[in-house]
A and B are shown apart, each in its own frame.
Chain A
Amino acid sequence: MLNKLAIEDAALQQERAAAAPALRLRGLRKTFATPAVDGLDLTVHAGELYALLGPNGAGKTTTLRMIAGLLAPDAGAIEVFGIDALADPRAAKRITAWLPDEPMLYDKLTPLEYLEFVAGLWGVERERAEVSAAGLLDVLELRRHAHTRCEGLSRGMKQKVALAGALIHDPRLIMLDEPLTGLDAAVARQVKDLLAERVRSGASIILTTHILEVAERLAGRIGILSRGRLVAEGTLAELRTAVGRGSSTLEDVFLAVTGRDAQLACG
């Protein structure tokens, strides 16, 4: 009877997850000395790449860290594919990946050992992990360095190893904080291609970046944060229309929106 209930519950959860958006934030709030995230409402649809932009200190990283379960919000709700991430963080973590701007690596482990470790943490079955690791090492051209300790790798290589680790459990929601910072053009292209491929295969991505060209080219929708609040959101075309400059670039839109918000803040 209990088993049957559990199966029904799991089926219900799956059904709910299938219908739910990839990420839904409601009234999210976090205050340090001053409010870092101030009543944020945001939705990322399934299969979408969403770029979260904002000036330094706008609350982008704090938002992602709260979604990843690394910071407890002061108020608000976080849902990942219908799962309440604050009530059931483990269930939410199982289907998400978090990649900060500084790679979370162990200098004394090789990339292969790192992938083994991450696969173990996320409880990926051995066969699936092997296939997934082999694919990621090939796609990211890490095979040659698979047995070199991470301390001997370049910044770009380390970032690729961390990305491979983030993707090894085939997450449904991928959160990337400045994933292309410090990468050369070739490595950046590999990462962008891999992200585009993941979106095509159904994953949802939310990324922060200061490289506006990346958001312009990759993102389906763009959200602009300023002082912890979402001050503009939409496709690039929608943002252009909203700002009132039909032919402007994302940089123009970004500067206009954040500049206007800063003026409002100054009173």
Chain B
Amino acid sequence: MRLRPGSLAWLAAHDLTLNWRRFVDTFARLSPPAMWGVAMGCAAALHLLAWPVVLWLLRSKGGIRGLDAAALAVAMVCVLAWMTAQALLAATRLLYERGSLDLLLASPLPVRRALAAQALAIAAGSFGSVGILLLPLVHMGALLDGCAWLSAYPVLAALALAGTGAGLAAAIGLFSLFGPRRARLVAQLAAAFIGGAFLLALQVAAMLPAGLRQAAAQWLAGSWLGAALDPAVVLALPVAAARGDPVSLVLLVGLAAGLLAAVVLLLGERFRRASLGAAGAGADTGPAWRRRRRGLRVASGLGQTLRRKEWRLLRRDHAVFAQLSLQIVYTLPLAVVLVRGAESMPLVLALAPTIVVIAAQVAASLAWVTVSGEDAPELIAAAPVRRAEVETAKLSAIALPIAAILALPLAGLAMLAPASAALVALFATAAGGSTALLNLWHPMPGNRRGMLRRHSQSKLMGLVEHLMAMLWAVAVVLALVGTVWSLLPAGLAALLLLSCTPARTGPTAAAVSGPGTRACASP
């Protein structure tokens, strides 16, 4: 069937095609048969993993209708929060990264239609990213318990539409509130917190002393807020829909589609104005006092030159800043879970692995940004500098931001237990150093904005990076407990790193690899 050029369906199909190609590009190194083989293998593995989970649910709950309403509601709110965060990020990216949006806005198409197509593509992306994990459960449920499980498809679609509407509205609202210069940073930070905050808030609430929790619950029950947030009122419809009630399903999908349509219709013009405002956001000249004061200040030595450049770029890169926040926010629940998991566990034991994992993740991300995300690799390759000098300078440049991020939790830990804090600092340094070196030795060229998606270049490298972080985290816990067994995971992490040492004979320089580029530097 040929879609009418310029129609909403035609535009949406165009955007969906682009999204699909981007997804397929993450397997770019594989031949098409190998790619399909990997995809089918992953799908089969996910379904195999889902099978025992569904069996357990069926045995303990007796079927989809027996699922706990509160659990269903919490799961849906988490999914909705995550989808809203994704949509907020995507809408902000759309506003600032121009390209296709410029083409659409320059065309004679109505702006609301163009925006609707983009919104549908964002919703489809959200549906896919959650569905890839959730739908295997649904399929196994349908196989073992009946077709009612398939209602998850329209429920997920409704959540994607509603989340996209909310995210789009939030992006336009933030742009109006903070203006083109600050909106991007605020939106990225907001997305990080919306995405992780709900889960974190639940965990933190559970950590509160029982008395305080009861008092808060009593206050909430008696207030208008409590009445408004009563799960029986607010979440009755999606819960009924998730259990397969057809009327609720139709109502839910209708409401979600209505919300998205309303956002597009009401805010379409504002979105166009925001995108025009964002066009000049790059022409930032900085404060007037800085322009008056500054002349040329050449750094003394190559190390200082490179460090100063990296710090400037990191400070000004809103995307990197926001993505680091996202990583940290998503890692924090680990500490909460650990504290909850063992009531008698000292706080130090719960915080130590979290700090080590954060150090490993942040170091890996920053190393990737400074090495693989280098904007002008050929400039450095064409300069009369040694590769080793560049690598050393880049490593030293990322040490400061990591130290700044970890300073506060380490200081807090030092007040509780100084010796333990020193041990944690040591393991955090080892973990950060390992993952940074890994990224330095095996660059994965890409745009620095795609920091969190960097493992799409090499899934194996991502796996090694996570494994290394986990090994160091286990090692620090064992070291704090005082057992020599901590040497085992630490040794394994060191061995893993050694096994990743690159061959230094080739002309390719890790330090000068950038997006789509491989260049040789002076050895």
Contact = CB atoms under 8 A, between A and B. Distances in A.
Contacts of B507: 72
Interface in B298-343: 298-302, 304-306, 308-309, 312-313, 316-317
A149 B296 contact: no
Contacts of B306: 120
A129 B384 CA distance: 16
A70 B383 contact: no
B504 interface: no
Interface string A85-109: 0000111011010101000111111
B296 A115 contact: yes
Contacts, number: 125
B245 interface: no
Nearest to B374: A106
A211 B277 CA distance: 36
Contacts of A89: 384, 522
A118 interface: yes
Given A72-B507, A116-B297, A107 B375 contact: yes
A36 interface: no
B295 interface: yes
Nearest to B291: A147
B290 A147 contact: yes
A109 B306 CA distance: 13
Contacts of B313: 106, 108-109
Contacts of B380: 121
A95 to B, nearest CB: 9
B286 interface: yes
A15 interface: no
B522 A90 contact: yes
Given A116-B297, A120-B304, A121-B379, A107 B520 contact: no
A178 interface: no
A120 B383 CA distance: 10
A234 B382 CA distance: 29
B385 interface: yes
Contact of B283 (A109, A126, A148): A148
B284 interface: yes
B286 A147 contact: yes
Given A98-B378, A129-B296, A130-B298, A117 B280 contact: no
B285 interface: yes
Nearest to B390: A121
Contacts of B295: 112, 130
B282 A91 contact: no
A196 interface: no
Contacts of A68: 378, 381-382
B428 to A, nearest CB: 28
A133 B304 contact: no
B312 A108 contact: yes
B298 A126 contact: yes
A104 B522 contact: no
B263 to A, nearest CB: 29
Nearest to B381: A70
B299 A121 contact: no
B382 A120 contact: no
A113 interface: yes
B272 interface: no
A105 B376 contact: yes
A68 B381 CA distance: 9
B290 A106 contact: no
A71 interface: yes
Contacts of A72: 507, 520
Given A113-B312, A124-B298, A70 B382 contact: yes
Contact of B316 (A69, A108, A122): A108
Contact of A107 (B280, B282, B291): B282
B270 to A, nearest CB: 24
B69 interface: no
Interface string B139-163: 0000000000000000000000000
Interface in B471-523: 507, 519-522
A90 B384 contact: yes
B386 to A, nearest CB: 7
Contact of B379 (A96, A118, A130): A118
Given A113-B312, A147-B285, A149-B283, A69 B520 contact: yes
A123 interface: yes
A262 B298 CA distance: 50
Interface string B381-404: 111111000000000000000000
B381 A148 contact: no
Nearest to A132: B296
A119 interface: yes
A124 B375 CA distance: 22
A121 B305 contact: yes
Contacts of B297: 116
Contacts of B385: 90, 121
Contact of A109 (B285, B312, B519, B522): B312
B302 A120 contact: yes
Nearest to B313: A108
B296 A70 contact: no
B10 to A, nearest CB: 32
B284 A93 contact: no
A69 B316 CA distance: 31
Interface string A130-174: 100110000000000001110111000000000001000000000
A102 B385 CA distance: 22
B294 interface: yes
A117 B291 contact: no
Contact of B309 (A69, A70, A104, A117): A117
A165 B382 CA distance: 12
B384 A122 contact: yes
Interface string B345-389: 000000000000000000000000000000110111111111000
Contact of A130 (B283, B290, B296, B299): B296
A120 B305 contact: yes
A121 B296 contact: no
A104 B380 CA distance: 10
Contact of B282 (A106, A124, A149): A149
Contacts of B280: 152
A116 B382 contact: no
B376 A112 contact: no
21 contacts: A68-B378, A68-B382, A69-B381, A71-B519, A89-B384, A90-B385, A93-B382, A100-B378, A105-B376, A106-B313, A106-B375, A107-B282, A107-B375, A116-B297, A116-B308, A120-B304, A121-B383, A130-B295, A147-B290, A147-B291, A148-B283
Given A130-B296, A152-B280, 12 more contacts: A70-B519, A71-B520, A90-B384, A106-B375, A107-B282, A112-B294, A113-B312, A120-B305, A120-B308, A121-B383, A122-B384, A147-B286
Which 8 residue pairs of A and B lie closest in terms of their CB atoms, listed nearest first?
A120-B305, A152-B283, A151-B282, A104-B376, A93-B384, A121-B383, A104-B379, A152-B282
